Amino acid sequence: VEASIPEPQREAWKRSQTSAFKSSDEFEKEVVRHVETSLARSMFNCDEKAAYSATSLAFRDHLILDWNKTQQRQTYRDSKRVYYLSLEFLMGRALDNAMLNVGLKDTAKAGLADLGFRIEDIIGQEHDAALGNGGLGRLAACFLDSLASLDFPAWGYGLRYRYGIFKQEIIDGYQVEVPDYWLDFNPWEFPRHDVTVDVQFFGSVKKVPNEQGKSVAVWEGGEIVVAVAYDVPIPGYDTPTTNNLRLWSSKASGGEFDFQKFNSGDYESSVAEQQRAETISNVLYPNDNLERGKELRLKQQYFWVAASLYDIVRRFKKSKRAWREFPEQVAIQLNDTHPTLAIVELQRILIDIEGLDWDLAWEIVTGTFGYTNHTVLPEALEKWPVGLVQHLLPRHLQIIYDINLFFLQSVEKQFPDDRDILTRVSIIEESQPKMVRMAHLAIVGSHKVNGVAELHSDLIKTTIFKDFVEIYGPDRFTNVTNGITPRRWLHQANPRLSELIASKLGSHEFLKDLSQLNKLELLVQDKEFKKEWAEIKFANKVRLAKYIKETTGVNVNPSALFDVQVKRIHEYKRQQLNIFGVIHRYLTLKAMTPAERKKQLPRVSIFGGKAAPGYWMAKQIIHLINAVGSVVNNDEDIGDLLKVIFLEDYNVSKAEIICPASDISEHISTAGTEASGTSNMKFVLNGGLIIGTCDGANIEITREVGENNIFLFGNLAEDVEDLRHAHTYGSHTIDPDLAKVFEEIQKGTFGSVHDFSAMIAAVKDHGDYYLVSDDFHSYIETHTLVDEAYRNQEEWVVKSITAVARMGFFSSDRCIYEYADGIWNVEPLPRRD
Ligand code: OAK
C-alpha cells in the first residue's frame, strides 16, 4: 500500500506541521502538556521524576522532528551510509547531551526554573543507559556523537538489553552485583512495532535445483524469533543532523504466546517458548576483555546481526541499484569480532536468496566490511566450537567452511612450501573440539583491519595477525588511534572550563575543531587565566569531595592531591600495583616522626570500577582496596595525609564528575596489554596530568603533550616477553619495597590474610605475569616525582594548560574523518535548514 499522502492533501499537512520549541515559554508549554497528557499528572503531583520525564519527552519531540528530516534527506540523496555494528553502546545519560547538542540548555534551565525546578536536579533523575562494559562500548557512543556532529549519514545497530551492566554495591568491602533494570520509563527510545525481522535458528540445510538447474541451499525448519526495532535519536552538536541508533529486542514469533498451545491446555510450554525468545535480548554479558563462549551469547550475536543485515539490505534494495554497487552505498564497521557473523550472513543472503554467484558475492562482502580489533589478550579472542555453530546455524557453518577452503587454497598457491602457515591462519582451529576463529574470519572477510592506537596496531601486525600481513600485504592493516567526544567529556562534564576556553578563544568552535585548543598555549603565562584555571580545578575537586562524603561518609581535603584510577578492574590494568603503592606510602608515613609527616603532601587515592562477576582475582583486588581504606582512613597518625576511597558503581555519569576533578590519573597497564585506553584522554582534556606506562594511547599522548607534561614509568612492551620468561625459568626476586608491603598484608594489618594471599602468590609464586614487581620501583619513584612537581603549583598549572592545549588530536571527530577517508569512503551530508 502506498503510504505517501497525495499531492492535493499535502497543503493541509504543511499547514499543520509540528514545529520544535525555541523559546523558554514554548518549552514550558511543552513540558506542561507532557505532564498533563503523556504522564496524566498535574502541578499538584509533579515531582522531579515527572519533570524529568516531561522535559525529556519535550526534547525527544524536538529530536524526532530533526531525525525525520535527516532521514528523508539521506534517503532522497541516496548517499553512502555507514553502519556501525556494536554489541555495546555505553551511552550514559541523554537529556543533558540533547540539550547541549541542540543548543537549548539555557532555554530549558530558565523554563524549568520558572516551573519550580533546578535543571541539575532534573538531569540527575536520569538512569544511565549502560548497554556496555567499558572502553569498547563507550568508544561506540563517542563515535555516534561524532558521526552526527560531522553530518555523516550513519546508523548504529545494537541490542536492546533489558538489563545493562549490573549495578555494583560494596558491602563489607566486597563487590555485590545488583541487576540494572533500566527500562521502567525510557523516553529516549522509539518502539517501531512495524519494523520487525524474523530470525531463524537451528533447522537443517538441503540442496535443491533452482530454475536453471543449479543446486542451491535451502535452510529450513528450526525456530523463528522476531526482532523488533527500537530507535534512539542521536543528535549532532550544533547541526540539525540527527542520526539513528537502532536496537533490536527479541520476542516470540507467535505473538504474546502460542494460542493454539494455550487453548489446548499446554499453557506452560506456550509461555516457555515466549520466554526463550525474550531471553535473547535480556542481558548484557558483563565481561570486559574476556569471551566465555556461552551458547546464548552466540544466539545474541546472530540475532542482532541477522536483523541488522536484513534491515540494511532492505534499505539498499529500495534504491533499485545493481548488487555490485552495494559497497558503494554501504559501509559496515565491525566493532571487534562480535558481529563477525555479518560477513557470513551477507554472503548467505547474496548467494542463497538473491542468487548471485559466489565470487561476485564475496567481492561485495569484502568491499563492504571493515574490522576493528580492540585487544590482543588471548582470553578475549573469540572462538566458537564448530559443533555449536553447526547446531545453531547449519547453513552458516557450510559457508564458513567454503570461505576457509577458498582462502586456504589461495594461501597454498602463494606459499606452496609452507604447510604450517595453513594451520596457523585457518579459520578452523584443528583442536579438540574444533573451533571457529572469529578474528581470522573477520580479517578474511574485510577490506581493512585496524587497531586502536599506534603501538597496538603495530603489535597486531607483528604478533597475532603476523601471517595475515604476509598474505594480504601491509595495506590491509591500518591504525586509527581512538578519541573521545569533547562535547560530553569537556563541554558537558566541565562546563566552567569549557566556558573559560570559549571566552579566550572567542567562540565555541573548538568543540567541533579541537585542534583550536592549541591557541591556549599563548596564555600559559597569563596570571589571571592561570588563576581561573586553578580555581575551576579546585571547584571540581570540591564537587567530587562532596560526592565522596555523601556516598562513603569519608571527609577528604580538596586541597590534597587527587590521584584517580577508575576503569574496569583487571589484572592487566594493575589496580593491584596501585594499591600496593598506596600501602607502601602508608608504611612510609607511619615510619616518620610527626615533624617529618608535617612536611608531606596530602593525597587522596580514588579508585572505582566493576569486576566481572566471575573474575575472582579482580574481586579480591576490590576487597583489598576497601580493606586498606578502612585502616588508613581511620588512622589518627595519618589524618589528611592519605585517604583511600573506593567509589561504588563507576559508570558514565559518575565519570563526568570524576574526570574533571583529578590532579593525577593512573593508566598503568603492563606494557603491550591496553590496546588504547580512552579515559587517559578524558582526564588530560580536563586538565589532569597522568601517570602511565608506555602502553596504548599513552605513547601518543606523550608525543602530543610533551614528556615534561606526563609521568611515564615502567618496562617497555618489547621487554615484556623476556621478563616473563626470566620469571619462569630464571631466579625471580621480588622488589624489596614490595616484599615489605606483602609482609604487612600477611601480618593481617588489613584483615583477611587468606583472601589476599592469592594476589601475593600471583606475583611471588606464579610468574608475575603482569610484571608488578618489575615495575614497582619505577612506579614508586615516579610518584615521588609527582609529589615534587605538585608542590610547585605555578608550574603544575602551566603543565595542565599546556597539556590541554595539545590534546586536539584526541577528538573522536578526528577518528571519524580517518575512518571515513581510509576505510569507509563516505562523505558528510550537511543539512542547511
Ligand atoms: C571488550 C570486549 C572484547 C574485546 C575488547 C574489549 C574492550 O573493551 N577493549 C577496549 O577497547 C577500548 C576501545 O578501543 C580500548 O581503549 C581499550 O584499551 C580496550 O581494552
pLDDT of amino acid 273: 81
Ligand 1 within 6 A of 376 CB?
A: no
CATH class of 78-93+128-481: alpha beta
Cα 637 from Cα 633, distance rounded (Å): 10
Buried b (16+ CB within 10 A) or exposed e, 415-436: beeeeebeeebebbbeeeeebb
Q: What is the dihedral of CA 540, 543, 545, 547, to 10 degrees?
A: -140
Question: What does the block give as the cell for 425?
Answer: 591462519
Ligand 1 within 6 A of 695 CB?
A: no
C-alpha to C-alpha distances, 727 to 222, 527, 617, nearest whole angstrom: 52, 52, 20
Ligand 1 within 6 A of 677 CB?
A: yes
Q: Which of 86, 131, 136, 449 to mutate to test the pocket of ligand 1 (most atoms within 8 A of CB)?
A: 136
3-state secondary structure (DSSP) of residue 369 = strand
Ligand 1 within 6 A of 342 CB?
A: no
Question: What does the block give as the cell for 473?
Answer: 600485504
Ligand 1 within 6 A of 484 CB?
A: no
Write down the catalytic residue from 456, 568, 603, 654. Answer: 568
Residues 746-752 have a mean pLDDT of 95
In the reported structure, the alpha carbon of residue 289 is separated from the centroid of ligand 1 by a whole-number distance in angstroms of 6
Q: What is the 3-state secondary structure (H, E, C) of 385-418?
A: EHHHHHHHCHHHHHHHHHHHHHHHHHHHHHCCCC
Asked if residue 217 lies in contact with residue 398, where contact means CB atoms within 8 angstroms, the answer is: yes
Percentage of the chain beyond pLDDT 90 is 94
Domains 78-93+128-481 and 493-717+772-808 share a fold: yes
Query: CB 206: neighbour CB atoms within 10 A?
Result: 11
Residue 826 pLDDT greater than 70, yes or no: yes
pLDDT of amino acid 1: 46
Predicted confidence (pLDDT) per residue in 70-123, tens digit: 999 999 999 999 999 999 999 999 999 999 999 999 999 999 999 999 999 999
Ligand 1 within 6 A of 288 CB?
A: yes
Atom of ligand 1 nearest to the CA of 134: 8
Predicted confidence (pLDDT) per residue in 215-228, tens digit: 899 999 999 999 99
3-state secondary structure (DSSP) of residue 341 = helix
Question: Considering the chain, what is the average pLDDT of its residues?
Answer: 96
- 375 annotated active-site: no
Asked if residue 90 lies in contact with residue 130, where contact means CB atoms within 8 angstroms, the answer is: yes
Ligand 1 within 6 A of 336 CB?
A: yes
Say what the ipTM of the complex is.
0.99
pLDDT of amino acid 80: 98
| Strand-pair partners of 224 | 200
Atom of ligand 1 nearest to the CA of 375: 5
Q: What is the dihedral of CA 790, 796, 800, 802, to 10 degrees?
A: -150
Residues 807-827 have a mean pLDDT of 98
Atom of ligand 1 nearest to the CA of 338: 3
Ligand 1 within 6 A of 168 CB?
A: no
Q: Which of 86, 131, 300, 374 to mutate to test the pocket of ligand 1 (most atoms within 8 A of CB)?
A: 374
In the reported structure, the alpha carbon of residue 455 is separated from the centroid of ligand 1 by a whole-number distance in angstroms of 14
Please, is 183 exposed, middle or buried when counting C-beta atoms within 10 Å of its C-beta (0-12, 13-18, 19+)?
middle
Residues 506-516 have a mean pLDDT of 98
Ligand 1 within 6 A of 451 CB?
A: no
Cα 494 from Cα 487, distance rounded (Å): 10
pLDDT of amino acid 118: 98
Cβ-based neighbours of 418, under 8 Å, separated by 6 or more: none
Buried b (16+ CB within 10 A) or exposed e, 320-354: eeebeebbebbbbbbbbbbbbbbbbbbbbbbbbee
Q: Which of 87, 290, 375, 449 to mutate to test the pocket of ligand 1 (most atoms within 8 A of CB)?
A: 375
In the reported structure, the alpha carbon of residue 675 is separated from the centroid of ligand 1 by a whole-number distance in angstroms of 7
pLDDT of amino acid 19: 87
Q: Positive or negative CA dihedral for 294, 295, 296, 297?
A: positive
**Is there a cis peptide before residue 433, judged by omega within 30 degrees of 0?**
yes
Ligand 1 within 6 A of 563 CB?
A: no
C-alpha to C-alpha distances, 38 to 17, 33, 46, 261, 415, nearest whole angstrom: 20, 8, 13, 37, 67
Ligand 1 within 6 A of 382 CB?
A: no
In the reported structure, the alpha carbon of residue 299 is separated from the centroid of ligand 1 by a whole-number distance in angstroms of 22
Ligand 1 within 6 A of 372 CB?
A: no
Write down the catalytic residue from 573, 574, 619, 814. Answer: 573
In the reported structure, the alpha carbon of residue 381 is separated from the centroid of ligand 1 by a whole-number distance in angstroms of 11
| Residue among 69, 82, 66 nearest 153 (CA) | 82
Ligand 1 within 6 A of 808 CB?
A: no
Residue 610 pLDDT greater than 50, yes or no: yes
In the reported structure, the alpha carbon of residue 338 is separated from the centroid of ligand 1 by a whole-number distance in angstroms of 12
Asked if residue 514 lies in contact with residue 484, where contact means CB atoms within 8 angstroms, the answer is: no
| Residue among 205, 356, 819 nearest 346 (CA) | 356
Split at pLDDT 50, 70, 90, the class of 266 is confident
Percentage of the chain beyond pLDDT 70 is 98
Residues 270-274 have a mean pLDDT of 81
Which residue's CA is the nearest one to ligand 1's atom 7?
Answer: 136
Cα 695 from Cα 693, distance rounded (Å): 5
Cβ-based neighbours of 626, under 8 Å, separated by 6 or more: 170, 173, 174, 646
Buried b (16+ CB within 10 A) or exposed e, 472-486: beeebbbbbbbbbbb
Predicted confidence (pLDDT) per residue in 694-710, tens digit: 999 999 999 999 999 99
Ligand 1 within 6 A of 696 CB?
A: yes
In the reported structure, the alpha carbon of residue 149 is separated from the centroid of ligand 1 by a whole-number distance in angstroms of 24
Ligand 1 within 6 A of 111 CB?
A: no
Split at pLDDT 50, 70, 90, the class of 269 is confident
Cα 680 from Cα 665, distance rounded (Å): 7
Atom of ligand 1 nearest to the CA of 452: 14
pLDDT of amino acid 798: 98
| Strand-pair partners of 167 | 178
Atom of ligand 1 nearest to the CA of 456: 18
Ligand 1 within 6 A of 483 CB?
A: no
Query: CB 129: neighbour CB atoms within 10 A?
Result: 26
Domain locations in the chain as residue ranges: 25-77+106-125, 78-93+128-481, 493-717+772-808
Predicted confidence (pLDDT) per residue in 459-480, tens digit: 999 999 999 999 999 999 999 9
Q: Which of 138, 289, 381, 460 to mutate to test the pocket of ligand 1 (most atoms within 8 A of CB)?
A: 289
Residue with the bigger pLDDT between 263 and 578: it is 578
Q: Positive or negative CA dihedral for 37, 41, 42, 43?
A: negative
Ligand 1 within 6 A of 346 CB?
A: no
Asked if residue 583 lies in contact with residue 744, where contact means CB atoms within 8 angstroms, the answer is: yes
Question: What does the block give as the cell for 75?
Answer: 534517503
Residue 823 per-residue DSSP state:
I
Treating both helix axes as pointing N-terminal to C-terminal, what angle do 793-805 and 527-552 enclose, rounded to 10 degrees?
Answer: 90
Residue 258 per-residue DSSP state:
-
DSSP annotation string for 457-484: HHHHHHTTTHHHHHHH-GGGEEE----B
- pTM higher than 0.90: yes
Write down the catalytic residue from 160, 476, 487, 567. Answer: 567
Question: What's phi and psi for 695, nearest 5 deg?
Answer: -145, 150
The most distant pair of C-alpha atoms in the chain lies apart, rounded to whole Å, by 95
Split at pLDDT 50, 70, 90, the class of 320 is very high
Query: CB 547: neighbour CB atoms within 10 A?
Result: 15
Residue 163 per-residue DSSP state:
B
Asked if residue 346 lies in contact with residue 309, where contact means CB atoms within 8 angstroms, the answer is: yes
- 814 annotated active-site: no
Ligand 1 within 6 A of 452 CB?
A: yes
In the reported structure, the alpha carbon of residue 823 is separated from the centroid of ligand 1 by a whole-number distance in angstroms of 20
Asked if residue 691 lies in contact with residue 782, where contact means CB atoms within 8 angstroms, the answer is: yes
Write down the catalytic residue from 670, 678, 702, 782. Answer: 678
In the reported structure, the alpha carbon of residue 140 is separated from the centroid of ligand 1 by a whole-number distance in angstroms of 11
In the reported structure, the alpha carbon of residue 738 is separated from the centroid of ligand 1 by a whole-number distance in angstroms of 30
Atom of ligand 1 nearest to the CA of 135: 12
| Strand-pair partners of 604 | 562, 643
pLDDT of amino acid 262: 61
Write down the catalytic residue from 447, 570, 623, 682. Answer: 682
Cβ-based neighbours of 669, under 8 Å, separated by 6 or more: 572, 573, 574, 677, 693, 695, 696
- 504 annotated active-site: no
Ligand 1 within 6 A of 134 CB?
A: yes
Cα 148 from Cα 71, distance rounded (Å): 12
Q: What does CATH list as the number for 493-717+772-808?
A: 3.40.50.2000
C-alpha to C-alpha distances, 327 to 77, 315, 816, nearest whole angstrom: 17, 13, 18
Residue 256 pLDDT greater than 60, yes or no: no
- 643 annotated active-site: no
Asked if residue 707 lies in contact with residue 752, where contact means CB atoms within 8 angstroms, the answer is: no
- 530 annotated active-site: no
Predicted confidence (pLDDT) per residue in 12-63, tens digit: 989 988 889 999 999 999 999 999 999 999 999 999 999 999 999 999 999 9
In the reported structure, the alpha carbon of residue 474 is separated from the centroid of ligand 1 by a whole-number distance in angstroms of 23
Please, is 60 exposed, middle or buried when counting C-beta atoms within 10 Å of its C-beta (0-12, 13-18, 19+)?
buried
Residue with cell 607502601: 584
Ligand 1 within 6 A of 679 CB?
A: no
- 568 annotated active-site: yes
In the reported structure, the alpha carbon of residue 170 is separated from the centroid of ligand 1 by a whole-number distance in angstroms of 25
Residue with cell 563515535: 143
